[in-house]
Amino acid sequence: MTRTTKLPLATLLALETLLVASSLQAQNPAPAAVLNPASNIPVGHFNWGIAQGSIFVVYPAFDQTGKIVGGSLGPATIVTAPSLPLGTTLSGTSIKVTVGSVSVDCPMVYTLKSQVAAVLPSTTPLGAGTLTVTYNGASGSTPIRVVGSNFGISTVDGSGTGAAVVTFPSYQLVDSTHSAKPGDTLVIWGTGLGAANSDANIATNGDLKTNITVWIGGVAAPLQYRGRSAGPGLDQINVVVPDGVSPGCSVSLVIQTGGAQSLVLSNTTNIPIMPGGGTCSDPGLTGITPATISGLLAKPTARLAALQFQQDNTISAPTFSASINAIFLSFTQQQLASQLPKLINNTDPSLGSCQVALVAGNPGGGGGDSLPNATQLDAGASIVFTAPSGPALTATGTPLVKGFYGATPTSALSGGAWQAANGKGGADIAPFSVAFQLAQPVAWSNKAASIDRTQSYLVKWTGGDPNGYVRISGSTGFGNGTGSNGIATFVCTAPAGTGQFTIPNTVLGNLGSTGTSFGFFELRGLSTTPVAIPTIDLAFLSWENSTQYSPAWK
């Protein structure tokens, strides 16, 4: 016979809470990723590794809802080390690293339930090992790879890509309104240069003489200092901006450890470089001058029109696709400030530079960019585009999206003199007829069946807009030769008129070998040219054409 006892509801709820709490306390921490917090190079990439004497961050495993799997790594509220020297236990959290038969306790920087940070002792043996996090007596482990040096450049948003944390000696951040110029001394901040004589306190051995090369816009920068800064594990590299760097707002910055053929690479970041410093600009990418943009931003409202041509060719079927779009929009001043980049800017690196992204896992496909937030303008029933030869192409409007017109050509878009006209006009846009030149498509002249990722690679082309540029990009998976761990992608830009660009091995060296994984290589010509349309504050033609194929990345 089973006897049941009815308890008050409040008592049942209290017991349930206690049981749940006991269950959570009994769970061991489940650390899942150990990263350099500056570079964030993901686990599984061949450049993943924590350098002796560097700061590292440990993250737990998460489920698909973002909930921590297993127990917390630390307390609910962040606790930072109160003073130097750093202790090896902080608010109940400690970290031990074991490589072979040697175990070391790590000086703690901060602790939180969702991440903990510490300094890897400089005496830690090199090689594959195990990192164990202990919190309130419960422990969990994850793999770690210890290396001698693997510098990570700190970034403004903490992602490991984009704008680097680089300052002038005055500690003024190098940013879009405070560009650096050739001859300036800069300080690059990060962690991972290598072992020092103190990990819990401020090191006193100064310049570590680590064998590194700092590449700014693909040009080696003279080194002045590379060693510890004013804190355990915190490194700084002092360099001089070299001559010969192509200017822009997103000039590449990457650090190579070892010799010229070494593929021990930092994360790839960027900084603004201009001949005279000050505010940066990239007119070579947008085709629209900074003065024009400033003039638009000074207006309470502005009407914009974009005539967009795109043509893509691939080695595999389908081999050809093309489109012509016309977009007519009206912006308020507030909309202009936030939405203008969607039409006339892009996220490409400055001309002559490259950017690299390493993404853990498979990010999947995106849905493409939506139209900017603005008032759509009726320009008539259709826009007729007249090509240098062949029949005219009619871009028809749609009642669902006013101000947007599209056509799908069935043959290649030829370069030469074109014309666009809107017939009798529409409710918002008066009749117009505008003539413009479409550049010859870029033709790739030296596609190779296989490419050595350890060497720099020269890409050659013909055609393109002499005032435009080319975007060279590629991607592979990485991890166990299957691409199972993530995706590595690069993008480089060069003036179209140069007809060639050398992709450095400091870029290609981030790719995985193709093996059984996927991979692509693409050359895309781009140009943006202002055109005149009555009652439109800024009208411009954008022209993109690309060729893509899949080489064997060796």
For the chain, the first-to-last Cα distance in angstroms comes to 73
- pLDDT of residue 285 exceeding 90: no
Q: Is the pLDDT of residue 43 over 70?
A: yes
At residue 368, does pLDDT exceed 50? Answer: no
- Residue pLDDT, tens place only, 525-538: 999 989 999 999 99
Span of 215-224, 314-323, 462-471, 503-512 with lowest mean pLDDT = 314-323
Burial degree of 183 (CB within 10 A; 0-12, 13-18, 19+)? exposed
What local confidence, expressed as pLDDT, does residue 281 receive?
Answer: 87
Q: CB–CB of 29/139 below 8 Å? A: yes
Average pLDDT over every residue of 101-117: 97
**What pLDDT is attached to residue 7?**
40
Mean pLDDT over 192-200 rounds to 97
- In angstroms, the CA 265 to CA 362 distance is 22
Residue pair 488/358 in contact (Cβ under 8 Å)? The answer is yes
Listed in sequence order, the DSSP H helices in 260-332 are: 283-286, 290-297
In whole angstroms, give the CA distance from residue 244 to residue 219: 7
Burial class (CB in 10 A: 0-12, 13-18, 19+), 488: buried
Separation between Cα atoms, residue 75 and residue 228, nearest integer Å: 30
Q: Is the pLDDT of residue 12 over 90?
A: no
20 neighbors 61 (Cβ within 8 angstroms)? no
User: Backbone dihedral region of 148: left (phi > 0), alpha (psi from -120 to 50 degrees) or beta?
Assistant: alpha
Tokens of residue 98, six digits: 């074991």
Beta-bridged to residue 552, according to DSSP, are 450
pLDDT above 50 for 21: no
Section 350-370 average pLDDT: 74
Among residues 436, 344, 343, 352, the alpha carbon closest in space to that of 388 is found at 436
> Residue 326 has which token pair?
């016309």
How far apart are the C-alpha atoms of 205 and 207, rounded to whole Å? 7
Residue carrying the six token digits 């060639």: 500
Residue 412 has pLDDT above 90, yes or no: no
Q: Phi-psi region for residue 218, left (φ > 0), alpha (ψ -120 to 50) or beta?
A: left
What interhelical angle do 333-344 and 290-297 show, nearest 10? 150
Neighbouring residues of 297: CB distance < 8 A, sequence distance ≥ 6: 333, 336, 337, 340
Confidence of residue 372 (pLDDT cuts 50, 70, 90): low
pLDDT at 290: 79
Topology of domain 27-147 in CATH is: Immunoglobulin-like (2.60.40)
Question: Does pLDDT of 18 surpass 70?
Answer: no
Place of tokens 């790594």: 73
- Which of these, 134, 123, 73, lies nearest to 99 by C-alpha position? 123
Mean pLDDT of 426-443: 94
Mean pLDDT of the chain: 89
| Assigned token pair, 194 | 């290598």
Token pair listed for 339: 């939405």
pLDDT tier, 344 (very low <50, low <70, confident <90, very high otherwise): low
pLDDT one-digit tens code per residue, 227-277: 999 899 999 999 999 999 999 999 999 999 998 888 899 999 999 999 999
The model carries a pTM of 0.88
Instruction: Calculate the CA dihedral of residues 75, 79, 82, 88 and round it to 10 degrees.
Output: 50
* 8 Å CB contact between 232 and 199: yes
> Residue 308: which residues within 8 A CB-CB, separation 6 or more?
323, 324, 325, 326, 327, 541, 542, 544
Domain ranges of the chain: 27-147, 152-273, 283-346+372-441+528-549, 443-525
pLDDT band at 4 (very low <50, low <70, confident <90, very high): very low
450 pairs with which residues across the strands?
552
The highest-confidence range among 90-94, 314-318, 394-398, by mean pLDDT, is: 90-94
Stretch 21-41: mean pLDDT, rounded? 79
Q: How much is the pLDDT for 27?
A: 82
Q: How confident is the model at residue 189 (pLDDT cuts 50, 70, 90)?
A: very high
Average pLDDT over residues 498-503: 97
- Tokens representing 175? 């940013």
Q: What distance in Å separates the CA atoms of residue 61 and residue 29, rounded to the nearest whole number?
A: 9
Class at the top of the CATH hierarchy for domain 152-273:
mainly beta
In the DSSP assignment, the letter for residue 439 is P
Distances, alpha carbon 41 to alpha carbons 36, 38, 136, 147, in Å: 7, 9, 30, 14
CB atoms within 10 A of CB 13: 11
The pLDDT of residue 3: 35
- Cα separation of 394 and 406, whole Å? 8
Residues 169-181: tens digit of each pLDDT: 999 999 999 999 9
The gap from C-alpha 446 to its chain's centroid, in whole angstroms, comes to 28
Q: Which residue has the higher pLDDT, 496 or 259?
A: 496
